[in-house]
Structure 1
Amino acid sequence: MLSSKLVCFALASLAFGQLNIVASEETIAVCPTNFVQVAGKCLLLDGKWKNFYESDRHCQSLNAGLLSIDNPTELNAINKWLPIVAPHTPELWTSGNKLGGTADYYWQSIGQKAAYLPWRVGQPTPTTGDCLTLLANVTMTAEETIMSEHRLAVKACTQWAPHICQAPVQIFKTQLCLNTNAFFEAKVPV
């Protein structure tokens, strides 16, 4: 009887001790180095002019893909971010394309059919190419150059433009341990 009480006491002590070891646990979301979190995605703008294929390879070398746009909220956030990081860049490659002879556009970076296609006025014009860029209307006056929000436009994949890479947000869990002797509590008889 005494041994069963001792076992119950030992198990209760062990369980109570484990509760005190982890004082807090937090989940944090971070982007890879040089990427910035925009609308729940990690984005990196590369201002070097490359064709679609070179741009895609560049993003892949960073364990990323070209930008895909899933909804109006994402596009609005991207359009707020672009004037800050690229105020004079009217056109940028995305992962959107209809390569492979399909009539539909796909986001190559995520391998999905593009359900949300926020076209620029007058687009799409499939005769101009098979790849998609984000393109802004540019108005030039004597005093300033004004760019409207970026929208999708069709472009020949072999032409040049800067691009935006997209990487997944990295999720980490952190734990704060308040029991400073936690590593020394387990003793093995010699």
Structure 2
Amino acid sequence: MLWHKLIAFAVLSLVLCQLHQVTSDDANPGCRTNFSRVGDKCLLIVEERDGWYEADRNCRALGAGLLSLQNPIQLLELNQWLNNSGQPFAKDYWTSGNNLGNQYRTFFWQSTGKEATYIPWAAGQPIHIDNCLLIESSEIFNANYRLSVTLCSMVISSVCEHAPLNYTLSNVTRICLKPDSFETVQVLVN
């Protein structure tokens, strides 16, 4: 009679383990390890302080790019996330924005290659003496982040982004707890 209880406990443990794994995976759906889901993007703060070129290379090594902003909703989501990210004080972060090699001073997002048509400037910006965009705040708590132009050689932290990964069908087989039936689930990770 004891072995029935042991088997029931083992099955229950397996089910609870599977439920925990599914719940854990949904915390940041579609995001790589250590990235957080923020709206329609997956973001990661890189505390290592580098110049713009090194920050861009570091994000690319993670399969991501430096942050870009396309609209006010993304800025609002970014502000909320940065203010709730556990950083004790507002910081400056590299974005992918730059006007490198552009004589007309038009800014582009390096991560997308598209012209930066939405640029929420900080007070007194833009100044057209330098080429790279960072997101900054003059406030310490509940910061209101905005874009500024600065030297690409400044050493600051950065925010990397990648689009959420889409899962499509492929061949992966899972065994159902019923001994006479099988369930086939197909998953492909990009």
Normalising by structure 1, we get a TM-score of 0.71
Please tell me whether residue 69 in structure 1 is matched to residue 69 in structure 2: yes
Unpaired runs of at least 5, structure 1: 1-27, 139-144, 184-190
Residues 90/181 of structure 1: CA separation in 2 closer, same or farther (3 Å cut):
closer
**1:126 and 2:121 are equivalent in the alignment:** no
Q: Find the counterpart in structure 2 of residue 6 from structure 1.
A: none
- Root-mean-square deviation over aligned CA pairs: 2.3
Please state whether the residue corresponding to 2:74 is helix, strand or coil. Answer: helix
Q: Does 1:114 pair with 2:116? A: yes
Q: How far apart, in 2, do the equivalents of 1:52 and 1:182 lie?
A: 49
2:166 match: secondary structure: strand
> Which of the residues 147, 158, 163 maps onto 2:158?
163
- Does structure 2 retain, via aligned residues, the 8 Å contact 1:137–1:147? no
1:73 match: secondary structure: helix
Deviation of 1:146 after TM superposition, in Å, equals 3.6
**1:11 matched residue in structure 2:** none
Deviation at 1:89, TM superposition (A): 3.4
Identity %: 35
Gaps of 5+ in 2: 1-25, 185-190
Equivalent position of 2:138 in the other structure: 137
Q: Give the partner amino acid of 1:62.
A: L
Counterparts of residues 1-190 of structure 1 (less than 5 Å): 29-85=29-85, 86-102=87-103, 103-127=105-129, 129-138=130-139, 145-146=140-141, 148-173=143-168, 180=181
With structure 2 as the length reference, what TM-score do the two structures score? Answer: 0.71
Whose strand proportion is higher, 1 or 2?
1
Alpha carbons of structure 1 residues 181 and 122: separation in structure 2 relative to 1, 3 Å: closer
- In 1, the alpha carbon distance for the partners of 2:81 and 2:141 equals 16
What amino acid is aligned across from residue 135 of structure 2 in structure 1?
L
Deviating beyond 6 angstroms after TM superposition, the runs of 4 or more aligned structure 1 residues are 174-179
- Count matched residues: 149
**Deviations for 1:28-49, whole angstroms, at most 9, x for unmatched residues?**
8410111011011010001111
Distance 1:48 1:71, change over 3 A: same
Return the offset for 1:182: 7.7
> CA contact under 8 A between 2:83 and 2:143: conserved in structure 1?
no
Higher relative contact order (CA 8 A, sep 6+): 1
71-80 vs 82-91, greater mean Cα deviation: 82-91
Tell me what 1:24 maps to.
Answer: none
